[in-house]
């Protein structure tokens, strides 16, 4: 799998970004401010993530998605580790990510990559998304915030 920064954000694989975030408006907003990276296998885009400066010393992983046909093969972990390395190379001292209370697989992935739960934004998804999101049979209401300190 080859991971590269996408220079033309208009070419961002929105079908993949929408797997992780159903809001086209929010996707467009963080695509403008962040850097988009794509993962390719045999010339096909199979994964994506967006990394954005949140504060002077902290980056935020805004979106990460793997094509459903390629999930369960450790590729998501490779993207998360690439995002961590990219943040570190760009001089950030920390990286954060938010995920839904119902995103059980993502929550496990981030913790396996060293992230720790640092906060909860209650009712984030009910306030910011017009339709109810249900994952794993659970209503997605709260945003769980996770962070990782980087060694620079």
Q: Which domains, from first to last, does the chain contain?
A: 2-149 (3.40.630.30)
Residue 19's φ and ψ, nearest 5 degrees, are -65, -35
Bridge partner list, 119: 145
- Give yes or no for residue 2 having a pLDDT over 70: yes
Mode of pairing for the β-strands spanning 58-66 and 94-100: parallel
State the chain's maximal CA–CA distance in angstroms. Answer: 41
Q: What is the pLDDT of residues 120-152, one digit of tens each?
A: 999 999 998 888 999 989 999 999 999 999 986
* Residue keyed to tokens 């010393």: 57
- Give yes or no for residue 66 having a pLDDT over 70: yes
Query: What DSSP string describes 26-66?
Result: HHHHHHHHSEEEEEEETTEEEEEEEEEEEETTEEEEEEEEE
Q: What is the pLDDT of residues 16-61, one digit of tens each?
A: 999 999 889 999 999 999 999 999 999 999 999 999 999 889 999 9
Q: Model pTM?
A: 0.91
Q: How confident is the model at residue 95 (pLDDT cuts 50, 70, 90)?
A: very high
């Amino acid at each position: 799998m080859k991971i590269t920064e996408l220079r033309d954000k208009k070419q961002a694989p929105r079908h993949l970004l929408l797997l992780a975030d159903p809001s086209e408006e929010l996707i467009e907003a963080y695509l403008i401010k962040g850097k988009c990276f794509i993962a390719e296998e045999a010339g096909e885009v199979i994964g994506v993530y967006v990394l954005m400066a949140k504060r002077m010393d902290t980056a935020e992983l805004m979106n990460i998605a793997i094509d459903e046909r390629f999930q369960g093969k450790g590729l998501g972990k490779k993207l998360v580790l690439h995002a961590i390395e990219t943040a570190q190379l760009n001089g950030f001292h920390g990286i954060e990510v938010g995920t839904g209370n119902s995103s059980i697989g993502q929550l496990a992935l981030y913790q396996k990559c060293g992230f720790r739960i640092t906060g909860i934004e209650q009712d984030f998804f009910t306030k910011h998304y017009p339709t109810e999101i249900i994952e794993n049979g659970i209503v997605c209401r709260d945003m769980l915030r996770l962070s990782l300190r980087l060694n620079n």
